[in-house]
Structure 1
């Protein structure tokens, strides 16, 4: 009987709240990997991230500095954690932290022997919301027109070109639909105060939202992809239920994107699906350069993409998926975890639990 290796894997995105991070879904997929066993190290930013206290999923948690603290402080903290835990792989799961991790990937790999599978900095920048329209033109993908603005006064001019309703988006997170200038100004102020400038104004497309969770191998080949349609969306725009789709056109578009860009690592493509002359038309509205919070659905559909990413980095070989189960649903739910106050005090004062 072949003995499976045991990997120590660090994971961020432990905030399983109403706008959940991908950490829980990534960890569940890691726990179900068939080719290895895992010890999970949680990396948290806040002391109330629920996964800190779910010990059946996370073996130990360490707080790490916010991305705004800079790369030097992050490296110092990772060095401390790695001296204790001997981490072999790390999953960053937030857009805002990816810039630091991408910049440091080679150094972290050579110095601490911690592997990651991330897009290159060029790939990361090219798909930014501020550059997505040009990205679509270059890669022959249909993308709604947009404009990047830094002043409230620009809304009137740009809205005349794009028309109402308008999607108002932050450069990292958050999106609202404005039906008039007053709403657009309100959302501009709210989103910019939280996520900074610029703000993206994007042509609003009426249709159904369909997403794809996938992984590229960095050489132009798709490791796996599962399309999903949202069945229930929260007031924050997050999928609370969804179902896997038999949509080969979406798979075709995804393969084309990965081939053209040689995308490396996990991603989520967000589309609005409309119809023209009874034929489906797909409008790409966002590319997230990491696993989405619903990525456990891919494991439920027979594609453990998370497992493949780890194997790609640690063995150089991984399973490539061509098929997946259609009609598999995920339904998210809330759960009350009972935690002794001493546990909260420990992570709050010591920075680890």
Structure 2
């Protein structure tokens, strides 16, 4: 059994190694794990594509294995994970993509039997915060959610435009969102998101205000172990935070605590909030995993990935009571130069 004294010997597998303009959380999670558990932990990357930069960041990732896409199903995933486990003796897996969580939750009991821990929400928890269910969830639990409409065809889009007006936010089932100011823009986004993520696409009421994200860690019993709010300072075309600063606001803490109480959430999550001119907090999205900016929680004094790892091994973690306000993150990109042989190896053999 892993104890507080030997977390440094853990072998932890992490997904989400991509780093485009909509980066995955994997590298931030790994940095936080190393900061909280020590550089001696062994990190195994789990990738879907050969061009995920984290594969080649050997100072952070000891070895990477490709795993099947979520559409391949649970049997393909468990077979691959067991193959990797046979080589690496995994202690813990931290998945970081929305679309893969259903399969990982499904195989979690089997992973446990093999000695691999996880700390994940249930399928019921995963479902209640999906974009197609978010408005109903808000009504049932007293949260302010922008009005939305599910889109399966252009008639649905025309109806949503009439009811919600412009500008209109068009969202993919799993990822991506675009603000449409005209019907032509809305139609283009509808087709693009439907082709990429499937249907329904969601049309959501546009709320003007200040964008705030909250990274939190639920204990599965209705409590939060950690809550760190961040105000976006720079936003990409896809609405992702490229810079942000930790802020202090009791209303945001109370909102996250209300969410944990209503859902008994287990694991990391992110609330995407819009504060309007009347100081009302609208929940735009609830992401069921750590955000890509989660390393800021470690820098601010509440290392959420490290706390999750300890909770996965049944250590009782006392809730954090404070964090540093005014901690700023600025994301940047650089050219990571590697040998083409590395790319060929991960592409051909599925491991590097």
The change in CA–CA distance for 1:287 and 1:26 in structure 2 (over 3 A counts) is: same
Among 93, 96, 107, which residue is 2:96 paired with?
93
Q: Is the 8 A contact 1:308 1:319 kept in 2?
A: no
Partner residue of 1:18 out of 5, 18, 21:
21
SS in 1 for 2:212: strand
Q: Name the SS of the counterpart of 1:153 in structure 2.
A: helix
TM-score normalised over the length of structure 1: 0.96
* CA distance in structure 1 between the aligned counterparts of 2:165 and 2:283, rounded to whole angstroms: 18
Q: 1:229-252: per-residue Cα shift (whole Å, max 9, x none)?
A: 111111122111000001110000
| CA apart distance, 1:170 | 0.6
Q: What are the ranges of 5 or more consecutive residues in structure 2 without an aligned counterpart? A: none
What does residue 348 of structure 1 align with? Answer: 347
| 8 Å Cα contact 1:4/1:36 also seen in 2 | no
2:170 corresponds to: 168
Summarize deviations over 1:154-198 as a string: whole Å, max 9, x none.
Answer: 111222221211110011001011122221111101110111100
Query: Alignment partner for residue 81 of structure 1, among 81, 84, 92?
Result: 84
TM-score when normalising by structure 2: 0.96
Secondary structure at 2:145 match in 1: coil
Q: Find the counterpart in structure 2 of residue 33 from structure 1.
A: 36
Task: Answer yes or no: is the 8 Å Cα contact 1:63–1:352 preserved in 2.
Answer: yes
Counterparts of 2:163 and 2:154 in 1: how far apart (Å)? 16
After superposition, give the CA deviation of every residue in 1:289-316 in whole Å (9 maximum; x if it has no partner). 0000000000010000111101111133
Is 2:66 aligned against 1:63? yes
The corresponding residue for 1:211 is 213
Matches within 5 A, 1:290-305: 290-305=289-304
Aligned to 1:322: 321
- 1:257 equivalent in structure 2: 259
Gaps of at least 5 residues in structure 1 are none
Q: Match for residue 308 of structure 2?
A: 309
Q: Measure how far apart 1:34 and its partner are.
A: 4.4
CA distance in 1, matches of 2:211, 2:262: 24
User: Which whole-Å deviations, capped at 9, do the CAs of 1:65-107 have from their partners, x for residues lacking one?
Assistant: 1111111111111110000111011011001111111111112
- Aligned pairs, number: 348
